[in-house]
């Protein structure tokens, strides 16, 4: 499973990259705004900076909602770097845009997916990635991981090449659940990725190893 980080923070992206497990980045207008980045030129420059850090795909979301504007905006984003994946919302015009981009060999990420039917349409249109939102479904008492499982079954039935990018991942249990089901990619905050490192028995075991080493070394010096 690929690990993407869902952020526009260059420092967080660098931390994840330095950990050695980062495969890509996803962003959205909200994450850009959180970093205080607004306006076309600054946003495009920020995407370029992200692409300079990572080796894998970088999802850059269109703000436009109608077909022609999505195409215009998406073509500009795709021209920034060959790592850019044009992120398009799950709407009627969004599906049309994904189909257009797929005919031009431009990578796409269909976002805001909340049903297996939406994921099926995205795959039919040729999306590179489909982003079902696990955490947001959990927020309304719907099993987000169950949606990942449904999409996995459908895509496997027909050998769709579209990759399942589990989005709105909140914590390590989400990551492990997606891994068990067979999601191709997960995207989440750095802390969720970092939390996979932690276990109290690892900490106590290491402390014991170091204490034993120190004790034996002290005895050898006597």
Question: Rounded distance, CA 4 to CA 12, Å?
Answer: 12
Give the per-residue pLDDT at 212.
Answer: 81
Question: Band of the pLDDT at 147, cuts 50, 70, 90?
Answer: very high
pLDDT at position 220 over 80: no
Orientation of helix 92-103 relative to helix 67-78, angle to 10°: 40
Give the per-residue pLDDT at 215.
Answer: 83
Write down the mean pLDDT value for the chain: 96
Give the per-residue pLDDT at 125.
Answer: 98
The predicted-structure confidence for 27-71, as pLDDT tens digits, reads as follows 998 999 999 999 999 999 999 999 999 999 999 999 999 999 999
Active site residue ranges: 87
pTM tops 0.85:
yes
DSSP string, 116-144: HHHHHHHHHHT-SEEEEBHHHHHHTT--H
Question: Band of the pLDDT at 132, cuts 50, 70, 90?
Answer: very high
Give the per-residue pLDDT at 209.
Answer: 87
pLDDT at position 221 over 80: no
Residue 186, helix vs strand vs coil: strand
Angle at 152 between CA 146 and CA 156, to 5 degrees: 150
Question: Band of the pLDDT at 218, cuts 50, 70, 90?
Answer: confident
Question: Rounded distance, CA 105 to CA 126, Å?
Answer: 10
The predicted-structure confidence for 150-180, as pLDDT tens digits, reads as follows 999 999 999 999 999 999 999 999 999 999 9
């Amino acid at each position: 499973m690929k690990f993407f980080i869902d952020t526009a923070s260059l420092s967080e992206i660098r931390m994840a990259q330095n950990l050695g497990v980062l495969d890509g980045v996803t962003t959205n207008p909200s994450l850009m705004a959180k970093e205080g980045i607004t306006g076309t030129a600054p946003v495009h420059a920020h995407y370029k900076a992200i692409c300079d850090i990572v080796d894998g795909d970088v999802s850059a979301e269109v703000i436009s909602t109608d077909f022609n504007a999505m195409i215009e905006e998406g073509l500009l984003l795709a021209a920034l770097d060959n790592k850019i994946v044009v992120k398009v919302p799950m709407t009627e015009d969004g599906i049309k845009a994904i189909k257009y981009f797929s005919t031009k060999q431009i990578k796409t990420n269909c976002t805001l997916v909340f049903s297996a039917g939406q994921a099926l349409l995205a795959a039919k249109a040729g999306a590179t990635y489909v982003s079902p939102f696990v955490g947001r479904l959990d927020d309304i008492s719907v099993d987000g991981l169950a949606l990942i499982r449904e999409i996995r079954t459908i895509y496997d039935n027909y050998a769709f090449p579209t990759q399942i990018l589990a989005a709105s991942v909140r914590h390590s249990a989400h990551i492990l659940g997606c891994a068990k089901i067979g999601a191709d990619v997960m995207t989440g905050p750095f802390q969720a990725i970092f939390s996979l490192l932690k276990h109290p028995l690892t900490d106590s075991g290491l402390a014991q190893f170091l204490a034993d080493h120190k004790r034996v070394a002290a005895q050898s010096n006597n």
